Structure 1
Amino acid sequence: EIFADQNDMIAKLSKDQVIRAKLDAETLSITIYNSTEKSHTNVDGSFMWSQLYLETLLRMPQRPFAKDELVQICRQHYHGNESELIKLENFHQTYTPNDAVKWYTKDCFIYRSLNKALRVQDIDLLFAFGFMILDIFNQLKLENNRFHYTTGETIIRCYRGQAIAKEELNQVKSNIGHFISMNSFLSTTQDRTVALIFAPTSNEIYEKVLFEIQVDMNLMQTMPFADVAHLSYFDQEKEILFMCGAIFQIKNVINNETEGLWIVQLALCSETSNELKDLFDYQKQRMADTTDLISIGKLLREMGKFDKAKRYYQRFLCELSSNDPNISVCYYGLGVVHDREDNYDEALHYFKKALDFQLTVLFLNDSVFIGKIYGSSGIVYYHKHEYDLALEHFEKSLNILLRTIGQDHGDTALIYTNIGRTYQAQKSYDLALENQSKALAIRLKVLPPDHPRLARSYLFIGDVYGDKQEFQLSLINYKKALKIQQKSLPENYIAIGITFHRIGRMSTNAREYQSALESYILNFILSN
């Protein structure tokens, strides 16, 4: 480009430098869903949980002091950085939801902090940014509607120049035909030349990559995307911004030796087209009965992040009025977390508080929630080896649930599971199998085929067969459980390692020593 005026050249160079710094800060974080890969290295669970967490953030109602909380966090982070603090104060005083994209594209703390939080899944910081993520989502959704009416094209192509780690590129190459999710916002351009300008040079760690993204404008139910050039702080022509969590199919990966880069061809996908749809729908349904911090606490609990779950439950308790029904929900959640941390007396304490609140404040005595409290209390007594008390609480729970929600329900299945486990502990193996089989039959009816609770049913049935010295039947059920877990849980989830240990132990009992060794090695890898 030739400039007649030196000031124009300086302005252009300064602008390019800012954009380059912005692209550097937007290092991509991706997760891949491969429905056919069953090895312990797959990332399918991470794919699911990142989608669910984003869904939870987008669903939560706005909190009145959310912006103040974010500003306070950023003040601490940028303490001593006067330039950023000035921008932060300007943000605090002037930000409105209609400025969300503009602030995101500005050279300041927002895109650096937000994209980093998205990349590393910093749950606390993402929660603080929740209001802005929702504002960007809503703005992109509005602009997406306009974009559809004004573009006049049925297919558009977008480009993104990027350096990605060689290992990550290899993962993409080995998953052609499968799905990829962008964990951060994805800034692209419709100008291929512009994208190439900002594609960094390859080195021993990173490869130079050009993402070519095909977008079918008639596709429904996608994460929103839009031309944001008129909203951006830098008025870049043909800038298309995709919402974080957008899902693409990997069409091809080409080594372009002429340009010295790899071309990754992607196609934007509908949320209904990826093979985790049934599982997402079920998980969203499970999350739908709670809002705000309870949603976050429940999701963190499901993810095994117990300390953070407790913090959010306690935080929400401080925000509730004295007769709010959600108080007992928080007490229940705290009880579940303490039970999973083996703090049994503390767990019983919170379950009792939840039950007392239901009985004495809300004047309820025969609700599904009370049935769940009795059931969870029974689990704690089971963990304390007080099996008669456990069965007593499970029977109370089962009677309430059968009256209120009936036989074919996930909560009823859970009670049958726990009754079966208790009979197994008492060495009543036939009664144990009878109840575990009831639980499995219900779950096969009401759950999607790859749900983690189905895996648990197979594991418990495998445990009973192991105690009965029927090792091959045990292994069959363990392997069914493992197949489900590898599709539905994060790759480093502790439950997968425990399942490998179970398979190793049972293979040893069955004198299948090579299989046992392989399973123990995989358990060791996941445990370290």
Structure 2
Amino acid sequence: MEMSSIDEAQMNFICLYPDNEIEDFKTHLYEISNSFRFYTNIRSCIKFIKLLKNEKILLVTSDFYIPKILSHLDIFHDVNFIYIYYSNKDQYKYIFHEDLNIVGIYDKISLLISSIQEQIISINKQFYQWTFFNEENYSKRDLSKQANDFLWIHLFHRVITQFPRDKQAKQQLMDYVRLYFKENFEEEYESNDALCCYRKNFSLQKMINKALQTKDIDRLYHLRYFLSDLSECLSREQQQIVESGIENIVFTQEMKLSKNEFNYLKENQGKLLSTKGYLFLNSLSKNVTTEFIENKDLIDVILQIECNLKEMGNNHVFTDLTRSNEKEEVLFDLNTTFRLESIHQDKQIWLIKMIATNDGELIMEKYIEDTHRQIENVSISIIFGKLMCDMNEWNQSQKYFEYLLNDLSSNHEDLAWIEHSIGQVHHWKGEWNEARIFYDRAYDRMIKTDPIRMKDSALVLTSI
């Protein structure tokens, strides 16, 4: 379920600023995100904006350019968020124009940066999707017969942490992100930089979470090296928090939900849920007074998440406890599972309480065990690809297995199952000739091994 009505358009960050001041301004804006494009010439800026059809734009500019912006209302009317900064406080004045989406006007750089950060976090929250799991009697059910997004997200997390972390995987990552981000990705990326890269690069966050929501295997496979790095960084950060003596943390987050979204959550109280992506929050201190702007179409809620760090298992969380006295950044790993404990109203504000739990890991292990009863000793990589087939994601499953076939060594033990799985995809798509080719290749590979894989080859024959 999507927690937003926002579309999937790309967010573009632009800074239009005078040449003699832009270098200092770059330093401040790069603290927020390294996705900013910088311009000193308004014509070049306009040329770029014209290319961004149906895409969202956040513009930071100087009061110096206001007259020129007002003379190009046909262009800047389409900019979604405009921030204006006065470097000279003596010249500060309030500006309003009904055809411009001016968020705010600032004469203090700290307030400008804080406001932009809030806007990015607000946008980011709207990209989350939730997936629920009904755990009733799951220990007595054959989970191998199930196929859903909850299992997909947990298996995917396990798979990326087990993929080979070799030079080929890193080079595929670098080639891909440089093609996508051009100059905005670090030239000398190191694995320890993953968490910092993710926090600072809004476009990278957006790309990853959209790929996870749509199960875009092509994009996710190229990003696997980075995603593995990110999970490893989160694991180390959480361990450091635990070693510091902190065991329990409670995070709170303001949100606005549509009535349908709110009612859907109420209907699923008591159930387990995960996000189809990395949950990135800007947690509020308990001492901060919450103020909401009234909107009849949306329901104001406070999301409260309680975490016992020692009981979270392989669910990892990063929190920047030193960011400020009032707020802290919180990033939950991809496979984090929550229990929706309760939803109740407190002083006209709805409070949604969740608890981080390790139950998602237990359910995934049960799914793997049940699958192994059908096919003994098959690897997690193969199980994940077969899950996509069971979800009728045939094209994504085929892409995934073809990537494995191309990248794994010629004597890898999974090759026969990969060829068999590609054959099954062709079979289910009605491509009988192509299916037979891969079935035969899988069978030949199994009977030529030493010792012969009799049981596995028999299963392949049943497909033929």
Decide: shared fold, TM above 0.5.
Answer: yes
Structure 1: tracts of 5 or more residues without a match: 78-83, 378-528
Q: Distance in 2 between the 1:288 and 1:366 partners?
A: 12
- Cα deviation for residue 225 of structure 1 reads 1.3
**Other-structure match for 2:389:** 301
Indicate if the aligned counterparts of 2:372 and 2:378 stay in contact, CA closer than 8 A: no
Higher strand fraction (1 or 2): 2
Written as runs of structure 1 = structure 2, the 5 A alignment for 1:89-128 is 91=186, 93-128=187-222
Indicate if the aligned counterparts of 1:160 and 1:195 stay in contact, CA closer than 8 A: no
- Cα deviation for residue 262 of structure 1 reads 2.3
Indicate if the aligned counterparts of 1:223 and 1:271 stay in contact, CA closer than 8 A: no
Written as runs of structure 1 = structure 2, the 5 A alignment for 1:31-42 is 31-35=131-135
Question: Are 2:155 and 1:52 aligned?
Answer: yes
Question: Are 2:440 and 1:352 aligned?
Answer: yes
Question: Are 2:382 and 1:282 aligned?
Answer: no
C-alpha spacing 1:256/1:288, structure 2 compared with 1 (3 Å): farther
Indicate if the aligned counterparts of 1:179 and 1:274 stay in contact, CA closer than 8 A: no
Task: State the superposition RMSD in angstroms.
Answer: 3.6
Indicate if the aligned counterparts of 1:160 and 1:187 stay in contact, CA closer than 8 A: no
- Cα deviation for residue 173 of structure 1 reads 0.8
Higher helix fraction (1 or 2): 1
**Other-structure match for 2:69:** none
Q: Distance in 1 between the 2:122 and 2:461 partners?
A: 53
Q: Deviations over 1:36-87 (max 9, x none)?
A: 699xxxx98322222222222233222423344344444555xxxxxx5321
- Partner of 2:303: helix, strand, or coil? strand
Q: Distance in 1 between the 2:326 and 2:173 partners?
A: 28
**Other-structure match for 1:376:** 463
Counterpart of 1:183, as a letter, is K
Counterpart of 1:242, as a letter, is F
| Larger RCO (CA within 8 A; separation ≥ 6) | 2
Question: Are 2:251 and 1:158 aligned?
Answer: yes
Q: Deviations over 1:461-504 (max 9, x none)?
A: xxxxxxxxxxxxxxxxxxxxxxxxxxxxxxxxxxxxxxxxxxxx
Question: Are 2:105 and 1:11 aligned?
Answer: no
Q: Deviations over 1:124-150 (max 9, x none)?
A: 322222222221211111121221122
- Cα deviation for residue 223 of structure 1 reads 0.4
Indicate if the aligned counterparts of 1:32 and 1:44 stay in contact, CA closer than 8 A: no
- Partner of 1:265: helix, strand, or coil? strand
Written as runs of structure 1 = structure 2, the 5 A alignment for 1:17-32 is 17-27=116-126, 28-32=128-132
C-alpha spacing 1:352/1:105, structure 2 compared with 1 (3 Å): same
- Partner of 2:131: helix, strand, or coil? strand
Q: Distance in 2 between the 1:297 and 1:248 partners?
A: 25
Q: Distance in 2 between the 1:67 and 1:195 partners?
A: 45
- Partner of 2:311: helix, strand, or coil? coil
- Cα deviation for residue 253 of structure 1 reads 0.9
TM-score when normalising by structure 1: 0.58
Q: Deviations over 1:200-259 (max 9, x none)?
A: 86452x4332111122244252501132356x8x9996433221221111121123454x
- Cα deviation for residue 193 of structure 1 reads 5.8
- Cα deviation for residue 185 of structure 1 reads 1.9
Indicate if the aligned counterparts of 1:161 and 1:200 stay in contact, CA closer than 8 A: no
**Other-structure match for 1:422:** none
Q: Distance in 1 between the 2:347 and 2:178 partners?
A: 47
**Other-structure match for 1:81:** none
C-alpha spacing 1:243/1:323, structure 2 compared with 1 (3 Å): closer
Q: 2:329 aligned to 232, 239, 244, which one?
A: 239
**Other-structure match for 2:60:** none
Q: Deviations over 1:483-527 (max 9, x none)?
A: xxxxxxxxxxxxxxxxxxxxxxxxxxxxxxxxxxxxxxxxxxxxx
**Other-structure match for 1:179:** 272
**Other-structure match for 2:401:** 313
Larger Rg: 1
Q: Distance in 2 between the 1:271 and 1:321 partners?
A: 35
Q: 1:228 aligned to 320, 336, 340, which one?
A: 320
C-alpha spacing 1:269/1:124, structure 2 compared with 1 (3 Å): same
Written as runs of structure 1 = structure 2, the 5 A alignment for 1:211-222 is 211-222=303-314
Identity of aligned residues (%): 19
**Other-structure match for 1:336:** 424
Counterpart of 1:135, as a letter, is D
**Other-structure match for 2:183:** 86
Indicate if the aligned counterparts of 1:211 and 1:263 stay in contact, CA closer than 8 A: yes
C-alpha spacing 1:275/1:146, structure 2 compared with 1 (3 Å): same
- Cα deviation for residue 186 of structure 1 reads 2.1
**Other-structure match for 1:403:** none
- Partner of 2:353: helix, strand, or coil? strand
Q: 2:238 aligned to 144, 150, 167, which one?
A: 144
**Other-structure match for 1:524:** none
Number of residue pairs aligned between Structure 1 and Structure 2: 351
Q: Distance in 2 between the 1:194 and 1:187 partners?
A: 19
